Chain A
Amino acid sequence: METVIKVENLTKRFGSFTAVDNISFEVKKGEIFGFLGANGAGKTTAMRMLCGLSLPTEGKGTVAGYDIYTQPELVKKSIGYMSQKFSMYEDLKVWENLELFGGIYGMSDEIIKIKTDELMASLNFEEERDKLVKSLPLGFKQKLAFSVSIFHTPKVVFLDEPTGGVDPITRRRFWEMIYDATARGITVFVTTHYMDEAEYCDRVSIMVDGRIEALDSPKNLKATYKAKNMDEVFQQLARKSKRKAD
């Protein structure tokens, strides 16, 4: 199996505060890799380093074969990113957002058009196509943001708490979209607070105070920690935290 993300001893410090403390892991192609941790555990910081938004203080990392320290712009070409905060252009229409981001990643006008048609059909978005994004309900927006993040078929997509604040049905549908993406060979790196979602991942890492405390498949983790579900695993590990959650 091809390795898509490889991280060795990655550390990020802000002054005297170590947000991410010496983490190492690998993610294989086509995997759904869950990145769990309490608020303030360092998940988003770690993810931002992998996306080339933030430079690591120490350590090495490659994403899609590019060095995150020396080739951040090449990393950016091969990844998709969906931030915690909704960040499509609200004053653009649905199709205009797709066109903009498709264009930014170098897709041609014809391909953008074909893929937009496909996507609108598969999402049942035909009516919303010409609507301004700001008029859409949150669930639609999240689906759109995810669709935009994988519109250019990246090697890896980074999802930062993608299902925050949406209803269970939309979450369910959202995870179906994630499975569809992996079926197309896209590797998924996802942070979440929902432990039922952790169960959907192929492998899960749990961060506590900037360190990775556990990393395995949900099944093995439950066995190791003698827990009924992922929630219990998480509770046991997160209790060790000395850092104050914000």
Chain B
Amino acid sequence: MIKYLLKKEFKQIIRNPFLPKMIFMFPLMVLLVFPWAASYEIKNLNLSVIDNDHSTYSRRLTQTIISSNYFRLTDKSASYNQALKSIESNKADIILEIPQNFEKSIINREPVKVMLSANAVNGMKGGIATTYLSMIIGAFNTTLISELFPEMAGSSSNMIQIDSQYRFNKHLNYQVFMVPALMVMILTLLCGFLPAVSIVFEKELGTMEQINVSPVPKITFILAKLIPFWIIGFIAITIGFTVAWLDYGLIPVGHFYIIYTFAAIYIFAISGMGIVISNFASTLQQAVFIVFFFMMLFIMLSGLYTPVDSMPNWAKWIAAFNPLKHLMIVMRSIYLKGSNFTQLGGELAALLGFAVFFNGLAVLSYRKTN
């Protein structure tokens, strides 16, 4: 019996004027555009330098900073007040002030202080600019020590004093972090949203009643609704792998079959959730709003942008019941670290749990007789 229902589902999907395009375009758009636009990587920071020393070393420091490619020298100011004006007029993001006796102190092995002053209107940008600059100066410091006083090399002494407790994020390659997580988003939106809409749509058309008055077992009907989404999800994620490889040179460190296995369980879970929603909703509008509510909640608490670890405890608890969060951990771990089933055992159990729970509920909440 399921054969006939599956045939129907596939024909309906293929004949839909919008769905097949969506299945291909959606992963492409999300992965091609999103990682570039929504990036935390900050480049082209505008630097204003107040060089009070005008010495070889002070010029060398400025040069080192500019050659890092993260900074762009927008102006050289004569005084701090003048530099501050360029911050106010948004010409500069950060000021570096080099004191008068910079070179002299270095040669005399006396500690010297440089001042960094960042525009923190965009707190994130200011913080990152300060960290970058500190690290570049720190590196410059080490170079100087090894040049001038080789006997001190390796010791912890600093000629130029800046607090540099953050590590310079060489891997601030945002795509590596975002692409695997975006694949989760694609699966969620395609395989969570569409099943929710598909049953409610049949309710509105009246075809649902024609099915309910027939002897189709509930499980058969729900399976026929779910199976196409497995295939849709697999197509979408395969497109995702391809884009990640072609566009970002990203290949998972771990195995593809582990990702597909997790994806299969996840699609089952999230489609089941979609079906539960469509069982409770009686109109398309209701279903769409309920799905939106849950999607927003799940995405916010998934760790897509903000790490779950830095959330307050109550939020962590909610996140633990969020299938998205678990698959995001899985995807990032397999892509970046090459984790295997044993290492991801907790996530595997959690996702299986969601799959059983949502699909059990889907079968229970689907009523052929009211």
Residues of chain A whose beta carbon lies under 8 Å from any beta carbon of chain B: 51-55, 72-74, 76-77, 79, 81, 83, 85-92, 96, 99-106, 132
Contact = CB atoms under 8 A, between A and B. Distances in A.
A99 B8 CA distance: 10
Contacts, number: 80
Contacts of A91: 11-12, 15-16
B94 to A, nearest CB: 59
Nearest to A72: B369
Interface in B71-125: none
A177 B196 CA distance: 38
Given A72-B368, A103-B1, A81 B11 contact: no
Q: Which of B4, B5, B12 counts the most A-chain CB atoms under 10 A from its CB?
A: B4
B306 interface: no
A99 B214 contact: no
Contacts of B211: 104
A115 B160 CA distance: 92
A236 to B, nearest CB: 34
Contact of A105 (B15, B16, B214, B368): B214
A76 B213 contact: yes
B207 A81 contact: no
Contacts of A74: 215
A55 B369 CA distance: 7
Q: Which of A55, A87, A90 counts the most B-chain CB atoms under 10 A from its CB?
A: A87
A51 B213 contact: yes
A83 B209 contact: yes
Contacts of A52: 213, 368-369
A16 B352 CA distance: 44
B150 to A, nearest CB: 79
B3 interface: yes
A105 B211 CA distance: 11
Contacts of B11: 91-92, 96
A100 B212 CA distance: 14
A21 B211 CA distance: 28
Given A55-B369, A55-B370, A104-B1, A88 B8 contact: no
A106 B210 CA distance: 16
Nearest to A79: B213
A150 B217 CA distance: 20
B3 A53 contact: no
B307 interface: no
Contacts of A100: 4-5, 7-8
Given A53-B368, A92-B11, A104-B215, 18 more contacts: A52-B213, A52-B369, A55-B370, A72-B368, A73-B368, A76-B214, A76-B368, A79-B213, A81-B213, A83-B209, A88-B210, A89-B207, A92-B8, A92-B12, A101-B210, A101-B214, A102-B4, A103-B1
Contact of A87 (B16, B205, B216): B205
A58 B97 CA distance: 89
Nearest to A99: B4
Contacts of B15: 91, 132
7 closest Cβ contacts across the A-B interface?
A: A103-B4, A87-B206, A85-B206, A81-B213, A87-B210, A77-B215, A76-B215
15 contacts: A52-B213, A53-B368, A55-B370, A73-B368, A76-B368, A81-B213, A88-B207, A89-B8, A89-B207, A101-B210, A103-B1, A104-B1, A104-B4, A105-B214, A132-B15
Given A81-B210, A87-B206, A91-B15, A53 B1 contact: no
B235 to A, nearest CB: 21
Contact of A104 (B5, B12, B209, B369): B5
Nearest to A87: B206
A79 B7 CA distance: 24
Contacts of B7: 96, 99-100
A96 B8 contact: yes
Given A92-B11, A96-B11, A106 B209 contact: no
A89 B207 CA distance: 7
Contacts of A101: 210, 214
Q: Which of B3, B4, B210, B216 counts the most A-chain CB atoms under 10 A from its CB?
A: B210
A106 B369 CA distance: 21
Interface in B11-40: 11-12, 15-16
A110 to B, nearest CB: 14
Contacts of A77: 215
A62 B205 CA distance: 29
A29 B206 CA distance: 29
B206 A105 contact: no
B370 A106 contact: no
A103 B210 CA distance: 14
Contacts of A99: 4, 7
Contacts of B207: 87-89
Contacts of A86: 206
Nearest to A85: B206
Q: Which of A54, A55, A92, A106 counts the most B-chain CB atoms under 10 A from its CB?
A: A92
Interface in B207-227: 207, 209-217
B224 to A, nearest CB: 10
B213 A53 contact: yes
Contacts of A132: 15
Contacts of B215: 73-74, 76-77, 104-106
A236 B75 CA distance: 97
Contacts of A81: 210, 213
A103 B211 CA distance: 12
A80 to B, nearest CB: 9
Contacts of A102: 4
